[in-house]
Amino acid sequence: MSRLIVVSNRVNPPADPGLGSTGGLAMALAAALREYSGVWFGWSGETTEHFTGQIRMQRVGGVTIALVDLEEQDRLEYYNGYANKTLWPLFHYRTDLTSYERSFDEGYARVNRRFAETLVPLLEPDDLIWVHDYHLIPMARELRKLGVKNRIGFFLHIPWPARRLLTTLPKHRALVETLFDYDVIGFQTEDNREAFEDYVIHEAHGSVAGPGRLTAFDHTVQVDSFPIGIDAQGFIEAAKSDEATQQFDRMQTSLAGRRMVLGVDRLDYSKGLEERFLAYEQFLIDHPEQQEDVFLLQIATPSRDEVEAYQEIRHRLDGVAGRINGEFATVDWVPIRYVNRGYRRDQLAGIYRAADVALVTPLRDGMNLVAKEFVAAQDPEDPGVLILSRFAGAADQMTDAVLVNPFSREDMSDAIRRALAMPLTKRRMRWERLLEGVKRDDVNAWRDRFVAALRGPPPEAANGDKP
């Protein structure tokens, strides 16, 4: 059987599968690599004065990892720069926060080249190479330049933006051209796949070469949507663990009979946190009779704090949460509990279980795994209600959630009222259907579908021969 070589910016399999780490990607990839033999290759997160290209091989949590250090300039121009100041905001529809700097382009190209040069000596001829996310779009181009003939696939975890937005990126065509060195390109949703096709046809003068196949720049690639899932079974178990039960009991005590609306996110401007706080404030204004019966617990783990836009949003959220609390709090009730730390996966499961309502309201999100985890953690006897943004990839699958427009405070205020008032039979019916989808379309299904596409058709089918 071919080995699977996973390539991503950071390599962080959880040492203990129960613990988890921030970012949905790590859990998903570790689960994939435990089943297939192979290697997970990427940046160690460390920097050295001069790039050496030396690889450190390790075994972590049943997974073989290969780490390479980068230079400080790489971190600034590639990671903080092109990845997180250019592509991330642009692909999340925030041209107002997007920096277009030539030094970032150079850093991005340099790191992709360095990754390719470092990976090549590890490769065997029939390895399947699976490259992840926006940090590494040109990786296949660099590998092909070095003579790599293996099948290479790319999966984009974040949204693919509309054509008009992408064309604001200098050298957008050159970036898209590099994608045509892959054999398979995967997106989270059909909507993203269509946006890509639209770009290829109208900007790259490409064409549809058959079902799921696009031709441009003299290459044909297979393009499909592969919505990512969670380790559903693992999460359901985690929600029943002692740690989860303890956390659940602790939450129940602290609820003191009140209803809890919950948000859990990385602290990122794409997650719509400020809009969420303001919508919740609108709910408090619209329904003064419910004020002291409800509170919002928002857990927001700081991330990418070297990037100004993240310092800025953190500062703004401190201000908005403080203002709302100052305005509405009474001596024994605080409307927003705002927490800036991370929790273990099992603790998080207990917190999800204690919530009456989850507010998952990103302005734009590739998928959003919190929505799926929330569903997996619920008590079947008394499940909570999921309020989900239409602009999360998850909304395509989770149509039994209460879908909202996160840009409308009134819409969200109404949704909170409806969710809190939803009768048990309706909650159960919706939740059962959501859970069925979360279990069926889990991380294993996602991985297996992608890897099957990456393997390609069996040789006889490719030749059109009958067996």
Residues 275-304 as x/- pattern, contact with ligand ADP by CB under 6 A? ------------------------x-x---
| Shortest Å distance, C-beta 291 to ligand ADP | 26
- Any catalytic annotation for residue 183? no
Q: Strand, coil or helix: what is 152?
A: strand
Task: Give the distance from CA 238 to its chain's centroid.
Answer: 20
Amino acid at 58: Q
Crossing angle of helices 345-354 and 369-377, in 10° steps, is 70
Nearer to ligand ADP, 153 or 393 (CB): 393
Q: Enumerate residues 6+ apart whose C-beta is below 8 A from 120.
A: 143, 146, 148
Task: Give the integer Cα–Cα distance in Å for 304 and 462.
Answer: 45
Give the range of 19-27, 56-64, 247-255, 379-387 binding ligand ADP by CB under 6 A: 19-27
Nearer to ligand ADP, 151 or 266 (CB): 266
The DSSP annotation for 231-247 comes to -HHHHHHHHHSHHHHHH
Helix (H) or strand (E) run with residue 148 in it: none
| Shortest Å distance, C-beta 23 to ligand ADP | 5
Give the range of 53-61, 102-110, 255-263, 368-376 binding ligand ADP by CB under 6 A: 368-376
Cβ atoms of residues 307 and 84 within 8 Å: yes
Nearer to ligand ADP, 18 or 23 (CB): 23
Q: Is 370 in the site for ligand ADP (CB under 6 A)?
A: yes
Q: What is the total count of residues that contact ligand ADP (CB under 6 A)?
A: 16
Task: Give the integer Cα–Cα distance in Å for 51 and 80.
Answer: 18
Q: Is 441 in the site for ligand ADP (CB under 6 A)?
A: no
Q: Is 29 in the site for ligand ADP (CB under 6 A)?
A: no
| Shortest Å distance, C-beta 44 to ligand ADP | 20
- Any catalytic annotation for residue 365? yes
Q: Which of 17, 22, 101, 337 binds ligand ADP (CB under 6 A)?
A: 22
Q: Is 265 in the site for ligand ADP (CB under 6 A)?
A: yes
DSSP code at position 330 = B
Of 92, 132, 135, 157, the catalytic one is 157
Q: Which of 3, 17, 18, 23 binds ligand ADP (CB under 6 A)?
A: 23
Selection from 336, 437, 342, 337 nearest residue 386 by Cα: 437
| Shortest Å distance, C-beta 96 to ligand ADP | 19
Residues from 302 through 361 that contact ligand ADP (CB under 6 A): 342-343, 348
Amino acid at 55: I
The CB-side HSE value for 287 (13 A sphere, CA atoms) comes to 21
Tokens 């390719």 sit on residue = 116
Helix (H) or strand (E) run with residue 178 in it: helix 172-179
- Give me the residues paired with residue 40 across strands: 6, 65
Give the range of 76-84, 258-266, 272-280, 458-466 binding ligand ADP by CB under 6 A: 258-266
Q: Which of 261, 369, 388, 443 binds ligand ADP (CB under 6 A)?
A: 369
Cβ atoms of residues 131 and 152 within 8 Å: yes
Give the range of 167-175, 252-260, 262-270, 416-424 binding ligand ADP by CB under 6 A: 262-270
**CB atoms < 10 A from the CB of 359, how many?**
32
Question: Could you give the residue numbers annotated as active site?
Answer: 157, 365
Judged by the rule CB under 6 A, the positions of this chain that interact with ligand ADP are 22-24, 264-266, 299, 301, 342-343, 348, 367-370, 373
